[in-house]
Structure 1
């Protein structure tokens, strides 16, 4: 194999790690792929012989680029139309080998939403240390700060994560019950089973980015959610196909109009366990990965 071939092979071996890192930092698969591509270009233009630890070098470049994108994204999200949700990603059988590192409790929608509360450096330090098990001294070099500062960043981030409540996937049997109950409410209008799973103060949120018809504000309270799911949604989704898939390490629903993904429905479950949030992704820019081939 040529030297250039070795260069590419080394990068491809690190790609799952880089995708997993960038996705957690950005909450967007599309942005993560762009960051990893930028990292590859930097890697291709560098003399490999001067790089003592290739994986550390790649992680460092990917982290810095992600932070640049994250700072810009946070500014643009202040002008975002409606509610913002992370871009969903398949993590089940339909996922690609590149997403192997995504299947964990640190990729649930709930976890990604908690990360949104953190400052960019808190987010990076926490993900690098608590998710990817990197040492503080290594993280300090990547973030251009001191080891003591990194410890403080991670400590503050952990407080926010703990205060957010449960971010882990729900037990699998509960996930299936929830999927069944939601589909029953859509199909028949009978919402008793779903009512037995919702927290009283549950919310239903939707992300359209102003690019698709959707609610702009949250639907608050179990009673209002039940009415919306059993009466309003069936009118909008009549004739659409609905399939079950593992998305962000939990069972979710994909609603399609022909081959085109119309919505992805995900759920957040408290430690109680009660469903605290139903999340509906309607932004077409975030649904492209769920379209079927023509």
Structure 2
């Protein structure tokens, strides 16, 4: 995909990727949608387009919505829990940084969005994260403005109900993770448990490719035991690398020199409330496979 710096597509591309990724949760699908939009843009009568950005946003959203509807059936048959393909930054100058420009990107948010119907997800994202007018959303979804307001209202209620919200500075988030890594590396089970909220949860995604839990693992004691067991099996073979996972501090875990999982965390700055462990190797392909 090539375009000159003066091409409106180039300026809009970060936003287009942000929309597509938040709709679909995978980099490959988002890139495919953006590529398709690029082809359509360069095959269109650009002189007749009043607003290039509006045209591109509409096109990408419709393409992503069609793809999400098709993917719903596949994801319902997915083995275990479906978590998004992580966007990981090891250097803030990497291209993934643009995905943060339009708002919330966390794995926790995408976990909730995955439970919305495709049109609810599109309406919510366009309104709450990309500040689109209801008139534009209605036109895009071929619904009335009142119906779109209702879609956004229902989606907002679910997001607020299901997503833990903690206003935690990045530095505090990092401090908690650093303490967690220290405890996990040394096999300090009590220290691990002390860092976890009593009702902490761990949600794993193995996709049927690698072992994972078929239900949410609950409780500080059980989760601490899980990390302690990993340490005991291979105390010298487990390495944690702090990285930015979907815009927030997270971890890459390597076992015997190979990437085993990308982990995202919900924390209040003192305790860890949720761990999302993405283990499906298909979703880890674009990440550094060795520490």
Say yes or no: TM over 0.5: yes
Quote the residue 1:286 is aligned against.
283
1:6-17 pair list within 5 angstroms: 9-17=7-15
Quote the residue 1:28 is aligned against.
26
5+ long unaligned stretches in structure 2: none
Quote the residue 2:263 is aligned against.
265
Per the TM alignment, residue 54 of structure 1 is displaced from its structure 2 partner at its CA by 0.8
Quote the residue 1:18 is aligned against.
16
Counterparts of 1:293 and 1:45 in 2: how far apart (Å)?
Answer: 42
Per the TM alignment, residue 237 of structure 1 is displaced from its structure 2 partner at its CA by 7.5
Per the TM alignment, residue 37 of structure 1 is displaced from its structure 2 partner at its CA by 1.0
- Contact 1:184–1:191 at 8 Å: present in 2 too? no
Q: CA RMSD, aligned part only? A: 2.7
Counterparts of 1:237 and 1:215 in 2: how far apart (Å)?
Answer: 22
Counterparts of 1:186 and 1:210 in 2: how far apart (Å)?
Answer: 26
Moved more, 249-258 or 220-229: 249-258
Cα–Cα, structure 1 residues 284 and 237, in superposed 2: closer, same or farther, change >3 Å? farther
Cα–Cα, structure 1 residues 98 and 195, in superposed 2: closer, same or farther, change >3 Å? closer
Per the TM alignment, residue 116 of structure 1 is displaced from its structure 2 partner at its CA by 1.4
Per the TM alignment, residue 103 of structure 1 is displaced from its structure 2 partner at its CA by 5.3
Counterparts of 2:25 and 2:18 in 1: how far apart (Å)?
Answer: 10
1:73-222 pair list within 5 angstroms: 73-90=71-88, 93-94=91-92, 96-97=94-95, 99-102=97-100, 106-167=104-165, 170-222=168-220
Secondary structure at the aligned position of 1:196 is classed as helix
The two structures have a TM-score, normalised by structure 1, of 0.88
Moved more, 240-249 or 281-290: 240-249
5+ long unaligned stretches in structure 1: none
Moved more, 91-100 or 133-142: 91-100
Counterparts of 2:167 and 2:107 in 1: how far apart (Å)?
Answer: 9
Per the TM alignment, residue 202 of structure 1 is displaced from its structure 2 partner at its CA by 1.4
Counterparts of 1:230 and 1:239 in 2: how far apart (Å)?
Answer: 13
Cα–Cα, structure 1 residues 272 and 245, in superposed 2: closer, same or farther, change >3 Å? closer
> Residues 81-101 of structure 1: CA distance to partner in whole angstroms, max 9, x if unpaired?
112111111256346345424
- Contact 2:184–2:192 at 8 Å: present in 1 too? no
Secondary structure at the aligned position of 2:79 is classed as coil
> Residues 109-161 of structure 1: CA distance to partner in whole angstroms, max 9, x if unpaired?
11111111211111111111111111111111111112221111111111111
Counterparts of 1:195 and 1:293 in 2: how far apart (Å)?
Answer: 28
Counterparts of 2:101 and 2:227 in 1: how far apart (Å)?
Answer: 29
- Contact 2:103–2:129 at 8 Å: present in 1 too? no
Cα–Cα, structure 1 residues 108 and 8, in superposed 2: closer, same or farther, change >3 Å? same
The two structures have a TM-score, normalised by structure 2, of 0.89
Counterparts of 1:250 and 1:40 in 2: how far apart (Å)?
Answer: 29
Counterparts of 2:89 and 2:211 in 1: how far apart (Å)?
Answer: 27
Q: How many residues align?
A: 290
